[in-house]
Amino acid sequence: MDSLTITRPDDWHLHLRDGDMLRAVLPETARHFGRAIIMPNLVPPVVTAADAAAYRERIMIALPEGSDFTPLMTLYLTEGTDPDDLAAAYESGLITAVKLYPAGATTNSDSGVRNFENAMPVLERMAAIGCPLCVHGEVTDPSVDIFDREAVFIDKILDPLRTRLPDLKITMEHVTTKDGIDYIASGKNIAGTITTHHLIINRNHILVGGIKPHYYCLPVAKRETHRLALRTAATSGDPRYFLGTDSAPHIDPLKENACGCAGCFTATNTMSCLAHVFEEDGALDKLEGFASLHGSAWYGVAPNAGKITLTKQSDPVRYPAKISTADGDVTVFDPGFPLYWSVT
């Protein structure tokens, strides 16, 4: 097969930042994707309906002329979130979901939840109205090894939460372990997003032969056995797994320093990367489900009306190595192999 036409994909986990960075990176997603769930971890975070409305307006202003991309907004869950404000935002269609960051888990997560008991009134309200909870599934206990944080989160936080609130619809975002894949497969009312980069890199890519800061992300890439479990799930056709790139831009000086920021910027070449992965695993026929259909079904919206075509060419596709912003360059994710699938 050297050509594949699929429903225009969606990205169910995306960081756009704000200001000059937003204006620089938004076209990279809008080029191929119809919609994306927009992460709310700005500084300050998007915590109220008014915050979400204002951020959505800034995104719409930054869109390239003629673009029909739709941002799907979220609220940042805090221990002080107003259940009435959240419910009104969800029921009006302003927001699509609410994001849970355990405090300190990743970039700009300091305002996240520390005591889950304090967030229970909001979570109970969400369960009652059907508002999905998007979860960054890692504990932040410094005594827990960073490579075990997802598995411990499932045992200590996620499973008890689901037992207490079985009607709460949960998206376990950027799953990185076989533990996460198996947990989703064994449960109800839970689904998981898988990133482009976690399908391609394991922890050796970050550490072997010198530290590679542009492969450093949170949750951090795990052992090869976990990467293979992610690929099996993504290419299986199981509707509980779908694309959420977690594309996360940082300018190079913030990545390439003694305390580099976490995040891989994959918006530019994700669809070419995915076509390579799915072809390699003999599952090109499953790519449309993973990238275009499963997520929309989970969130209860119709698939995009448009189509994109992936064409395999004889020479590698030329993608820019960096995206320029007013504050500096952002390095585009390098999968480590040539990409032959172009997108039109």
pLDDT tens-digit map of 115-127: 889 999 999 999 9
Token pair belonging to 57: 């307006």
Residue 285: active-site member: no
Specify the residue for token string 């405090």. Answer: 103
**Nearest-5° angle of CA 150, CA 151, CA 154?**
90
Closest C-alpha to 106, from 13, 9, 209: 13
Closest C-alpha to 140, from 107, 106, 163: 106
Q: Inform me whether the pLDDT recorded for 328 exceeds 80.
A: yes
Could you tell me which residues come within 8 angstroms of residue 305 by beta carbon, excluding any fewer than 6 positions away?
8
Calculate the alpha carbon distances from 193 to 82, 83, 237, 238, 299 in Å: 27, 26, 13, 12, 12
CA-CA-CA-CA torsion sign (72, 73, 76, 77): negative
Q: Which domains does the chain carry?
A: 3-343 (3.20.20.140)
DSSP bridge partners of 223: none
Residues in the chain: 344
**Nearest-5° angle of CA 211, CA 217, CA 221?**
80
pLDDT tens-digit map of 256-279: 999 999 999 999 999 999 999 999
CA-CA-CA-CA torsion sign (146, 212, 196, 328): positive
Look at residue 149 in the predicted model and tell me its pLDDT: 96
Please pick, among 10, 51, 246, 334, the residue that the annotation labels catalytic.
246
Look at residue 108 in the predicted model and tell me its pLDDT: 60
Cβ atoms within 10 A of the Cβ of 143, count? 6
Pairing label, strands 170-172, 133-135: parallel
Look at residue 109 in the predicted model and tell me its pLDDT: 63
Tell me the pTM.
0.96
pLDDT tens-digit map of 138-197: 998 999 999 999 999 999 999 999 999 999 999 999 999 999 999 999 999 999 999 999
